[in-house]
Amino acid sequence: MKRYQVTFFPNKLNIEVPENENILKAAQMAGVYVSASCGGETTCGKCKIVIKEGIVETENTGKLSQEEIDRGYYLACATKIKSDLDVLIPVESRISDREILEKKKELLLYPESLKHLIKDWTLKPIVQKYFLELLAPDLQNNLNDLDRLLLFLEKEHKLKDIEVDFLVVERLSKVFRQDGFKVTVTILYAVKQIKLIYIEPGDTTKEHYSIALDIGTTSVYGQLIDLNKGRVVSQSSDYNAQISCGEDVITRIVYALKGKGAEELQGLVVKTINKIVIELLKDTEIEGDKVSHIVVSGNTTMIHLLLNVDPRYIREAPYVPTFNSLGPLKTLDFNLDINNYAYMYLMPSVASYIGGDITSGILGTGIYDEDKLTLYIDVGTNGEIVLGNKEMLLSASCSAGPAFEGGTIKHGMRATKGAIEEVYIDKTLEPKLVTIGKEKPKGICGTGLINIVAELLEKGVIDQGGKFHQGLGSNRIRKEGNFYEYVLCFAKDSAIDRDIVITEVDIDNLIRAKGAMYAGMSVLVAYIGISFADISRVIIAGNLGENIDIKRAITIGFLPELPLDRFTFVGNGSLLGARLFSLSQEKSKKAYEIASHMINFELSSYNKFMDEYMAALFIPHTNDTRFPEVMKRIKI
């Protein structure tokens, strides 16, 4: 079969592929990130590219306007390669480079800094190193090497019933004799298991590290942790390379079920992780063989895909994952390039749509350990809600849809450079825009969407149903087809040479997204017979959470109306819990308890949810009394 060179611009990344490969796959292989919410199904129309040079064969998907076709646009997933190609990824299809992820890096967190969230914990990592000085054998005591080691561990460290990895057996006789029977052993602790996983000559206890990983549907974050000091020594992140196989977990599952999709998805996320691991180590010049374990936190689908366990039944009712909790697994068995002995712990999940990332957030924020009632919200494509305290933990997930992440919005985009984040509308209805990176506007991110809708409502541009008021007399408001829209930025000022607008359809999408979230919270609150006012603290986690304007979010009825000081941002709760899991045996046990004690509500099968949802399809809500302060503002 013929093979062709494809070069992707502006990054000039090059790849050789067989004839007839589609351009989306080629981009994927070249490591070029292209938006493709549907995972290459030709249905989302997002993976627009421009052919600068070369021959292709394309199918008509009806997803491109005549104007776009005239300008040389193609849909990458529907276009086959027929010669060497130069392909431009236009700005609207680009997933921006990594500056934004970099920006989101947390400050290095020391044990002390964790304490403001978690009441008390002691540094006792889940994998420990012990330095041992054994007696050499002689004819009077020629016990075999392994029993010599195990008896010593029992005598000196009270460690019994240790399982021994074969790797240790293989190395044992040599390592014993390399430094006169002085060795360092690495012992892994799991719930009901102690494993001897590594042995080295001499004393290496001072060099012991772990990696905490948050595998998100969009991004993967990693931290390298010094287990002696209990501190993060380097951080790295990247987009999850699965991103071009679909934007949300559902499209990923669909992708996994086709042909070799599952293997491909596993390969892609493993590639991302391996890249992050290399960067974490490079930054610090720490050797990979000093990393004894990684702790992986992610939603249930991401974890199934990482292990290449069939995710089919996560998506089909009654939504049954294959597993919630597994013991530590050898990283080597999953092609993770750490070293030949390291293990991977998985944060236990609760259900198909309450993953280990949520368990992790609950662990990291100490909610499970307090008298006071906390509401924990993780906002993304999927919204997860946990309500509880040390007595009880309830969870629910709402398929909010991708509106919060800029999806299904006409000019929606991720929260990267050029995204409109905030808007202020003056009396003449002219907007003042704030964009990420202060660049020319490219589109609207999730936070921006909330802020825009709140502003439109407060300034009387739209009504509580999300419809535009008539006759306001501004050229910014216009009708396109059946729906009105508001022009945030005319083509001349935008980075995409087109008007950037927010439409009634966009607003409706947001209302449904926030309605689902608010209804979910209402169901949990009602279930235990309290009102929102009884909640002492609301913790907001997740990507959107970090940038959200609480007041604006209350205005649109996404968050309950509570005093602002009850809201806390936790940033990446998933990574926070994974780190704590690695650093504390006691906390790691707690994680399994949290996951198994959490009571999950399948909202789709819960009648009360539908009532609450219908009631929440209004801004802020059909029941004014729930948002008295907002009502005051919007009535002005």
Hey, which residues between 342 and 361 contact a copy of itself (CB under 8 A)?
A: 351-352
Contact segment (CB under 8 A) with a copy of itself among 61-69, 327-335, 382-390, 484-492 equals 327-335
Six-digit token string for 312? 């089919």
**Do β-strands 599-601 and 73-75 pair in parallel, antiparallel, or remain unpaired?**
unpaired
CB of 140 to a copy of itself, least distance (A): 8
Contact segment (CB under 8 A) with a copy of itself among 2-10, 82-90, 313-321, 514-522 equals 313-321
- Rule CB under 8 A: is residue 263 a binding residue for a copy of itself? no
What whole-number distance in Å separates Cα of residue 298 and Cα of residue 364? 14
When the beta carbons of 59 and 316 are compared against a copy of itself, the nearer one is 316
CB of 451 to a copy of itself, least distance (A): 37
Hey, which residues between 122 and 161 contact a copy of itself (CB under 8 A)?
A: 137-140, 142-147, 161
- Rule CB under 8 A: is residue 278 a binding residue for a copy of itself? no
When the beta carbons of 171 and 417 are compared against a copy of itself, the nearer one is 171
H or E element in which residue 629 lies: helix 628-635
Contact segment (CB under 8 A) with a copy of itself among 163-171, 339-347, 488-496, 555-563 equals 163-171
Q: Going by C-beta distance under 8 Å and a sequence separation of 6 or more, which residues neighbour residue 636?
A: none
**Do β-strands 419-425 and 443-444 pair in parallel, antiparallel, or remain unpaired?**
parallel
In the list 10, 202, 327, 465, the residue contacting a copy of itself (rule: CB under 8 A) is 327
CB of 596 to a copy of itself, least distance (A): 8
When the beta carbons of 107 and 139 are compared against a copy of itself, the nearer one is 139
Please say whether the beta carbons of 457 and 464 come within 8 A: yes
- Rule CB under 8 A: is residue 284 a binding residue for a copy of itself? no
Contact segment (CB under 8 A) with a copy of itself among 28-36, 170-178, 237-245, 277-285 equals 170-178
What whole-number distance in Å separates Cα of residue 620 and Cα of residue 610? 17
CB of 340 to a copy of itself, least distance (A): 13
When the beta carbons of 330 and 410 are compared against a copy of itself, the nearer one is 330
What whole-number distance in Å separates Cα of residue 239 and Cα of residue 243? 7
Please say whether the beta carbons of 403 and 513 come within 8 A: yes
In the list 80, 98, 124, 312, the residue contacting a copy of itself (rule: CB under 8 A) is 312
Q: Going by C-beta distance under 8 Å and a sequence separation of 6 or more, which residues neighbour residue 106?
A: 235, 571, 572, 575
What whole-number distance in Å separates Cα of residue 25 and Cα of residue 569? 37
In the list 274, 322, 339, 568, the residue contacting a copy of itself (rule: CB under 8 A) is 322
**Do β-strands 193-201 and 182-190 pair in parallel, antiparallel, or remain unpaired?**
antiparallel
Q: Going by C-beta distance under 8 Å and a sequence separation of 6 or more, which residues neighbour residue 555?
A: 454, 457, 458, 619, 620, 630, 633, 634
Please say whether the beta carbons of 211 and 296 come within 8 A: no
Q: Give the Å distances, CA to CA, from 544 to 125, 255, 380, 463.
A: 31, 25, 6, 25
When the beta carbons of 166 and 470 are compared against a copy of itself, the nearer one is 166
Site string for a copy of itself, 572-611 (x = CB under 8 A): ------------------------------x-xx------
- Rule CB under 8 A: is residue 395 a binding residue for a copy of itself? no
Sheet hosting strand 443-444, strand order edge to edge: 431-435, 419-425, 443-444
Dihedral of CA atoms 127, 133, 136, 141 in degrees, nearest 10, equals -80
CB of 181 to a copy of itself, least distance (A): 11
Q: Show the beta-strand stretches assigned E in 156-290.
A: 162-164, 182-190, 193-201, 209-215, 219-226, 231-239
When the beta carbons of 149 and 277 are compared against a copy of itself, the nearer one is 149
Contact segment (CB under 8 A) with a copy of itself among 179-187, 319-327, 469-477, 554-562 equals 319-327
When the beta carbons of 141 and 475 are compared against a copy of itself, the nearer one is 141
Local structure of residue 546 (DSSP, 8 states): T
Six-digit token string for 511? 């209302």
What whole-number distance in Å separates Cα of residue 87 and Cα of residue 54? 9
CB of 146 to a copy of itself, least distance (A): 4
CB of 309 to a copy of itself, least distance (A): 6
In the list 19, 99, 154, 333, the residue contacting a copy of itself (rule: CB under 8 A) is 333
What whole-number distance in Å separates Cα of residue 474 and Cα of residue 471? 8
When the beta carbons of 145 and 561 are compared against a copy of itself, the nearer one is 145
Rg (CA), the chain: 27
* Residues listed for the chain: 636
Please say whether the beta carbons of 554 and 561 come within 8 A: yes
When the beta carbons of 60 and 605 are compared against a copy of itself, the nearer one is 605
CB of 479 to a copy of itself, least distance (A): 43
In the list 154, 156, 310, 430, the residue contacting a copy of itself (rule: CB under 8 A) is 310
Six-digit token string for 63? 């997803």
- Residues in the site for a copy of itself, rule: CB under 8 A? 137-140, 142-147, 161, 163-164, 166, 169-170, 172-174, 192-193, 307-310, 312-313, 317-327, 329, 333, 351-352, 602, 604-605
